[in-house]
């Protein structure tokens, strides 16, 4: 814990879903000098704004979590915005970290950077073996470019930048807005609202055959902080739970936990996204001792309870 005593930490995206748990984890570790820049005060697309942020706070560590994100629908609707904003925020931040001679930088990438047909389980070495799944390729490639920048800056300038690849996250404080949410909050909201209206069915995108891996958000925050403490190498590292579930089985599980008893209908005209996602998580355990600890059903129950409490409904 002594690592954090005198650290001055910037957490970009620190008011967001994952970032808020990282900030909680920092405080639990005794870190008292934490800066969370808000977009209305510090536009991370603007290099001068980042330069001012660094000059005013004099950070010893930056954890870059800020991103423009969404589910399949949002990625299809805004590929240009998702590419530009994610690329430019990271590029400008890493460049300012170099100029400032920042002691350490932690950059969060994305599972969407992996090739569409990556062999399961996804190993970090496979990251460059093909093009990402088309619906989220602009986002994935923008984030993957930051890995190249981190490695190049380490090689030329000695910047201690590490790069992590979190799998799909879920948990309390997630985004439940229909137009931009990811799969778990989207299904939870559908089931909860359908149950409240006593609907006979819900409709879900795709065939349900695609698989995904999910990591509880507090576990991911712990992985990020462990990496900040102990990992100092250029190679990317997966952060995940190492378990896989089909979207069909996931939907049925959420329906049971939310007490929705109606029919689940699938719309195969909508995309499934990447066929399979499941990570090899051995490197994170070996390099900095991270292993996910929250059972999936427990995490889902906590997520459902948070959503029901925050929408004015009864606790699941």
Q: CA triplet 214, 236, 81: central angle to 5 degrees?
A: 70
Provide the 10 A C-beta neighbour count for residue 45.
Answer: 15
Pairing relationship of beta strands 161-166 and 104-108 according to DSSP bridges: parallel
CA angle (237 as vertex; 234, 242 as ends), nearest 5: 170
Other beta carbons less than 10 A from residue 10's beta carbon:
26
Kindly report the number of other CB atoms within 10 A of residue 234's CB atom. 15
Catalytic residue among 114, 139, 163, 170: 139
129 Cβ partners below 8 Å, 6+ apart?
115, 118
For residue 131, indicate whether it is catalytic: no
Contact 166, 21 (CB under 8 A): no
Determine contact, residues 282/240, Cβ cutoff 8 Å.
Answer: no
Residues belonging to the active site: 139
């Amino acid at each position: 814990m002594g690592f954090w005593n005198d650290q001055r930490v910037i957490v970009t995206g620190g008011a967001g879903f994952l970032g808020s748990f990282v900030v909680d984890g920092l405080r639990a570790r005794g870190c008292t000098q934490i800066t969370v820049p808000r977009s209305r005060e510090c536009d991370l697309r603007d290099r001068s704004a980042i330069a001012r942020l660094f000059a005013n706070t004099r950070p010893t560590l930056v954890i870059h979590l800020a991103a423009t994100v969404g589910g399949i629908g949002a990625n299809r609707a805004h590929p240009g915005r998702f590419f530009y904003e994610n690329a430019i925020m990271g590029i400008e931040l890493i460049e300012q970290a170099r100029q400032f001679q920042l002691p350490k930088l932690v950059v969060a990438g994305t599972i969407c950077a992996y090739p569409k047909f990556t062999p399961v389980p996804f190993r970090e070495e496979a990251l460059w073996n093909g093009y990402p799944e088309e619906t989220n390729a602009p986002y994935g490639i923008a984030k993957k470019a930051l890995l190249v920048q981190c490695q190049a800056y380490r090689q030329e300038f000695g910047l201690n930048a590490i790069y992590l690849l979190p799998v799909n996250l879920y948990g309390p404080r997630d985004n439940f807005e229909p137009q931009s949410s990811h799969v778990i909050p989207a299904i939870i909201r559908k089931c909860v609202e359908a149950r409240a209206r006593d609907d006979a069915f819900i409709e879900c995108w795709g065939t349900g055959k695609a698989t995904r891996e999910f990591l509880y958000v507090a576990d991911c925050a712990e992985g990020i902080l462990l990496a900040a403490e102990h990992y100092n190498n250029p190679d990317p590292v997966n952060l995940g739970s190492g378990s896989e579930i089909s979207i069909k089985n996931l939907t049925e599980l959420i329906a049971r936990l939310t007490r929705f008893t109606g029919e689940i209908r699938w719309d195969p005209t909508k995309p499934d996204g990447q066929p399979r996602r499941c990570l090899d998580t051995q490197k994170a355990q070996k390099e900095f001792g991270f292993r996910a600890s929250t059972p999936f059903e427990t995490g889902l129950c906590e997520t459902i309870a948070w959503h029901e409490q925050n929408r004015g409904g009864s606790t699941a």
